[in-house]
Amino acid sequence: MVVAVVVGLLTAVPGLADVRRRFEHASVGWLLLAIAAELGSVLSYRRPAGQLGLGTPKVRAMAERTPLSKRDPRENQMSKQEFVTRIEQAPLLDRLADPLTAAVRNALPAGPLKDGLSGTWLGHPLHPLLTDVPIGAWTSSLMLDAVGGRESRRAADRLIAIGILAALPTAATGIADWGDTQPKERRVGLVHAVANTTALALFSGSLLARRRGRRTRGIVFSLAGAGALGAGGYLGGHLTFALGLGVDRTAFASPPTDWTDAIAENDVSESELAHATVNGVGAVLTRYEGEVVALADRCTHRGAPLHEGTLCDGAIVCPWHQSIFRLADGTIVQGPATRPAPRFEVRVRAGRVELRAARQLSSAR
């Protein structure tokens, strides 16, 4: 509320015409934000039950809460985690998420289009990279609304349009990734998509309002869109940093750097995939052109056990989403994986296969 008062005083002082112009519309947005913050603060303050005069038990429970500023930070952090955990564990969301992801998998089978959207050609998932464009464009537009003045209005509107255009390929890459998710990720991904679609709709409404000359309404739409965008971004961050979506599933493995006994040589044949564990790291082994070869058993994409996959033309096909890795060096023939399969060096001593991490791949990580 203090911000709104300061802005209001600034816009009222005679002689500050330039300041007034700059904050002409931004002040409306700030005022709405301040009112929303004040309402949130009122609802979150500890008060005797029923003091607000709002009679439902739910509202009384809200009135009992301690203000965020007086809470233990760990409690605040827990409430956010609880919120996301509830999304992760809401099987109700499966009713929508399961058929939708199945439709995505049918529409986007493994192949060049899927690889293009997944970022196989880039060596990293493409979706997080593209999200910078709509987020950056819409955030910059809000900045221009706030401090750019009348002369920046056209630029602000164009940035919103750029964000809308960029949101379409961004959504396409996100949908491609979402098709290959496990239940927890799938549920959070669904809510993430709903939040971002809401943001897209609100910024589209903002652009429409601005085109019709209703600038104040457009700014209000933008602010609401920024809120939805923030919620979507938070969940997107959770998908990556908490659930590891898009992270190379072998990134934290520590394969042995010294020769380590793995399996009897006779247990490795040309036509089958064998499994062994060295230093707690799984390896998938077979013979290729007469030589024993070994790759990390976890698929770099979503962690599938590659020894449950199939052999095809000197490569392993992942059993979950059909990424294909060359036996000779672990490089990708087909995505959606974006990182090669780490390779082991192999030697045979007295009928036993010994493995150690291949130097070039372990140092590349």
Provide the binding-site residues for ligand FES, judged by CB under 6 A.
180, 299, 301-302, 304, 318, 320-321, 323, 336-337
The least CB distance from residue 248 to ligand FES, in Å, is 11
Rank residues 108 and 337 by Cβ distance to ligand FES and give the closer one. Answer: 337
Q: How many CB atoms lie within 10 A of CB 74?
A: 8
The least CB distance from residue 207 to ligand FES, in Å, is 38
The least CB distance from residue 233 to ligand FES, in Å, is 25
3-state helix, strand, coil in the chain (%, to 5): 55, 15, 30
Paired tokens of 24: 């002409």
The least CB distance from residue 30 to ligand FES, in Å, is 46
Rank residues 180 and 297 by Cβ distance to ligand FES and give the closer one. Answer: 180
Rank residues 176 and 228 by Cβ distance to ligand FES and give the closer one. Answer: 176
Q: Distance between CA 262 and CA 43 in Å, rounded?
A: 62
Rank residues 144 and 281 by Cβ distance to ligand FES and give the closer one. Answer: 281
Rank residues 157 and 177 by Cβ distance to ligand FES and give the closer one. Answer: 177
Chain CA centroid to CA 355, Å: 35
Cα→Cα distances 341→109, 300, 316, 335, Å: 21, 6, 10, 12
Place of tokens 């990293």: 124
The least CB distance from residue 182 to ligand FES, in Å, is 10
The least CB distance from residue 249 to ligand FES, in Å, is 8
Q: Distance between CA 149 and CA 153 in Å, rounded?
A: 7
Q: Quick one: three-class SS letters along 27-75?
A: HHHHHHHHHHHHHHHHHHCCCCCCCCCCCCHHHHHHHCCCCHHHCCHHH
The neighbouring-strand residues paired with 261 are 354
Rank residues 206 and 250 by Cβ distance to ligand FES and give the closer one. Answer: 250
